[in-house]
Amino acid sequence: MKYFTGVDLGGTNTKIGILNENGEILIKKSIKTLSEKGIVITLKRIWQTIESLMDKKNIDKKNMCGIGIGIPGPVINQEIVGFFANFDWEVDINISKLMEKISGIQTKLENDVNMIAIGESMFGAGKGSASSITIALGTGIGGGIVINSKLISGINGAGGEIGHIKLVENGKLCGCGQKGCFEAYASATGIVREARSRLAINKKNLLYDSLKGNIEKLEAKDVFDCAKSGDEFSIEIVNYVGNYLGMGIGNLLNTINPEIIILSGGVALSGEILLEVVKKKLKQYALPITLKNLEIKLGELGNDAGIKGGIALFLTQ
């Protein structure tokens, strides 16, 4: 039996899992990333963890066939990182080669959302489909585009940076410094921002009551919960967000025409209430031919998607 390792390198925690060749996770562990110690020490700590997990499962090193690492930043050619979204690490270093030197195992890198996308495509919601777009709706919006089981990583690693397609000319300021980005409207941050801005002038609603006036405590989930309870104020915010989510997804459908859209991340967990608005709005934004036989599904792998992406890189890329 062959084995692979999937690593999801996060700003705070790093998730490491060992998989068999069928993509089943045999054992996994989360460690603190401690990025302040630098690249080399972090990679060594990851390799030590992999070794201890292999020991526990009696896996011989010679059967470990590849390590796939998801990186918070653009990855070029599956080996070089353009920049790190969260850390202060040096860029343009061949991390893949560095990890191969430390571990002796072939190593491939990918952007973390691309890892989720290829994981969902191969083992999750997109299983059996040749083309899918995974949209990670969380603090920001990330994307991963899979065509014929291969990622569109982009020449500088920015393939699938869909959170920054512009939906509104001169619109809301985004964290990237540009204006009118998809992410500024339909991410959790965007939802909270819109809700707070409305709450500043309208306090006669369930959402305000449920927060007991502490607007700073507001999370995207609160908006969805109140909308589900019938609060008109919150329903309007859901409609507002769903409209832009539909516009963004519609633009992707008209560009790529995939079989499946996979929604993952925290916002996607809001479930049917948001999805219903999106489906209605898509009729306004997507060409009818792109909606024919289109499936819109929630991600199925949760936090394991990135780890499963690790083996997917070796099986399909």
Please pick, from the candidates 63, 202, 254, 303, the single residue that binds its own copies as defined by CB under 8 A.
Answer: 254
Rounded to the nearest 5°, which phi and psi values hold at 209? -60, -45
Rounded to the nearest 5°, which phi and psi values hold at 240? -60, -45
- Using CB under 8 A, which of the segments 189-197, 214-222, 254-262, 266-274 binds its own copies? 254-262
DSSP code, position 163: G
Within 8 A by CB and 6+ apart from 185, the residues are 167, 168, 171, 172, 194, 241, 244, 245, 248
The rounded distance, in Å, linking the Cα atoms of 12 and 31 is 9
Total residues interacting with its own copies, rule: CB under 8 A: 49
Minimum CB separation of residue 114 from its own copies in Å reads 11
Q: Which is closer to its own copies, CB of 93 or CB of 165?
A: 165
Q: Which is closer to its own copies, CB of 120 or CB of 231?
A: 120
285 interacts with its own copies by CB under 8 A: yes
Please pick, from the candidates 259, 269, 296, 315, the single residue that binds its own copies as defined by CB under 8 A.
Answer: 259
140 interacts with its own copies by CB under 8 A: no
The rounded distance, in Å, linking the Cα atoms of 175 and 268 is 21
Q: Which is closer to its own copies, CB of 98 or CB of 147?
A: 147
173 interacts with its own copies by CB under 8 A: no
Q: Site residues for its own copies, window 99-138 (CB under 8 A)?
A: 130-131
C-alpha radius of gyration, the chain, whole number: 20
- CA angle, 289 then 292 then 167, to 5°: 60
Which residue is listed with tokens 């809001």?
A: 270
258 interacts with its own copies by CB under 8 A: yes
DSSP code, position 159: T
Chain residues in the site for its own copies (CB under 8 A): 74, 82-83, 130-131, 143, 145, 147-148, 150, 152-162, 164-169, 176, 178-179, 243, 247, 250-259, 284-285, 287, 289-290, 292-293
